[in-house]
Amino acid sequence: MELSATVQKLKPSATIAAAAKAKELKSTGVKVYEFTLGEPDFITPEHIREAAKEAMDAGHTHYTPATGIPDLKQAICDAYERDHGVKYAANEIAVSNGAKHSIHNVLTALCGPGDEVIIPAPYWVSYSALVELTGATPVIVSTSEESGFCLSADQFRDAITSKTKLMMLNNPCNPTGACYPVEMIEALARVAVEKNILVLSDEIYEKLVYEGSEFRSFASFGEDVKNITIIVSGVSKAYAMTGWRIGWTMASAELTAAMTKLQSQETSNPCSVSQFAAIAALNGPQECVTDMLKAFVERREYVLSRLSKIPDISLATPGGAFYAFFNVSHYFNKLLQGGVTVKNSTEFCSALLEQAHVALVTGDAFGAPGYVRLSFATDLKTIEAGFDRLEKFLLPE
Ligand code: PMP
Ligand code: GLU
């Protein structure tokens, strides 16, 4: 069979591949310490599950409008106005099958061969792959640990060419946890307006922000900035709803209409029952978010304290999301547990899984050689045992 050139070129999602590799080892009876997927371990809160059951029993089991039912669009507008003080109208909302699908819709509606899309690195694995799928070229701009992995306005300006269509920003960031200072976001927004560059602002981790950091939505700096902003968000992370597959965009009515046309041909609509669950998430009590955040605060502190005790490991303290992204390059070409040596982050993760049964994701997949990503969206006991094993792997007696 001759597969299409597009699919032959496409890389599988490295996060999903790392999780699958860990599960494969687990299926052989080995106890694996899993820190791969960015997926909260909590079950979706009860009132949200109940809303889905009620929706099913009420017969909401049919096709819906292509980009979501009016009540969900209204709930998204209300939540955004409540949380960020910015008004959107229902015809500026497109609900999709997860934020990953929303990103795909934005890129497919806007980009094609000859276009450039600026992506600050480290970046979430799917960004570059989804840009390439449209035939456009990802323009990767590296940021440093010293800058807290934040793209500066000057870096943004320098990367813009006549072919630039879009910049993709993820704040708070997967994989680094970087939560941009407000003045840095505003400086990026001013460049985008001045140069008339659209910005896809992926704000899916907006509710997962730690003390000392402040989240500001990209669209909140005035009408001119809002006009060039495409917000991407969803319920997966804040409400522990990864499996329900609901994400959305907030963008101009023109782009929203284009994505609606696209989605009507692609998937018809997002899952009807999940849409009712998402309404309950957004309109219902928000204590569930605060409770889960409390658990993440505790896990983050523990992870940071364990990392600080391992010699020659460095990282930028994560201000948001639930990842620690640390540099392990000091341990390349040194004798590790089992007498193995590794030359890069990908070999590091493979050896760590084989020798210590600890699963991390290689920084190579995020455009950051030398680094590895640990997701602390898992219970403290597993994190504790995982660190004991990681230490032993790095520093065998
Ligand atoms: N953006 C970022 C930065 C993410 O980490 C994820 C994680 N899956 C997504 C988008 C997609 O989320 P989902 O498709 O589950 O809504
Ligand atoms: N976004 C999560 C992660 O980075 C989930 C997996 C995925 O969608 O790639 O682990």
Domain boundary among 257, 283, 309: 283
Say yes or no: 278 and 297 in one domain: no
Say yes or no: 165 and 216 in one domain: yes
pTM over 0.95, yes/no: yes
Gap from CA of 138 to ligand 2 centroid (Å): 19
Gap from CA of 102 to ligand 2 centroid (Å): 14
Say yes or no: 382 and 367 in one domain: yes
38 in ligand 2 pocket by Cβ < 6 Å? Answer: yes
Task: Tell me the C-alpha distance between 296 and 380, whole Å.
Answer: 10
Say yes or no: 198 and 347 in one domain: no
Say yes or no: 374 and 355 in one domain: yes
Say yes or no: 102 and 219 in one domain: yes
The neighbouring-strand residues paired with 234 are 247
- The number of domains in the chain is 2
pLDDT one digit per residue (tens) for the chain, 397 residues: 999 999 999 999 999 999 999 999 999 999 999 999 999 999 999 999 999 999 999 999 999 999 999 999 999 999 999 999 999 999 999 999 999 999 999 999 999 999 999 999 999 999 999 999 999 999 999 999 999 999 999 999 999 999 999 999 999 999 999 999 999 999 999 999 999 999 999 999 999 999 999 999 999 999 999 999 999 999 999 999 999 999 999 999 999 999 999 999 999 999 999 999 999 999 999 999 999 999 999 999 999 999 999 999 999 999 999 999 999 999 999 999 999 999 999 999 999 999 999 999 999 999 999 999 999 999 999 999 999 999 999 999 7
Q: For residue 350, what are the CA distances in angstroms to 9, 337, 355?
A: 23, 13, 9
236 in ligand 2 pocket by Cβ < 6 Å? Answer: no
- Joined together, the tokens standing for residue 288 give 């569930």
Say yes or no: 276 and 298 in one domain: no
On whether the CB atoms of residues 199 and 230 are closer than 8 A, the answer is yes
Give the nearest ligand 1 atom to 321 CA: 5
Say yes or no: 129 and 36 in one domain: no
Say yes or no: 277 and 313 in one domain: no
What per-residue confidence (pLDDT) applies to 44?
98
Residue 136 belongs to a domain with what CATH number?
A: 3.40.640.10
Residues with CB under 6 A from ligand 1: 38, 98-100, 124, 170, 174, 202, 204, 234, 236, 242, 247
Question: Comparing C-alpha atoms, which of 89, 72, 370 is closest to residue 256?
Answer: 89
- Amino acid 237 reads K
Say yes or no: 19 and 66 in one domain: no
Task: Give the residue numbers spanning the domain of 262.
Answer: 47-283
Say yes or no: 28 and 60 in one domain: no
Residue 298 belongs to a domain with what CATH number?
A: 3.90.1150.10
Domain boundary among 240, 260, 283: 283
Question: Comparing C-alpha atoms, which of 98, 79, 293 is closest to residue 202?
Answer: 98
Max Cα distance, the chain (Å): 63
Say yes or no: 264 and 177 in one domain: yes
What are phi and psi for residue 239, nearest 5 degrees? Answer: -110, 15
DSSP 315-350: EPPP-BTTEEEEE-GGGTTS--GGG---SSHHHHHH
**Alpha helices of the chain — where are they, by DSSP H?**
5-9, 14-26, 46-57, 70-84, 99-110, 125-133, 153-159, 182-195, 223-227, 253-266, 272-283, 287-309, 345-356, 380-394
Gap from CA of 322 to ligand 2 centroid (Å): 12
Task: Tell me the C-alpha distance between 17 and 359, whole Å.
Answer: 11
Domain boundary among 283, 309, 338: 283
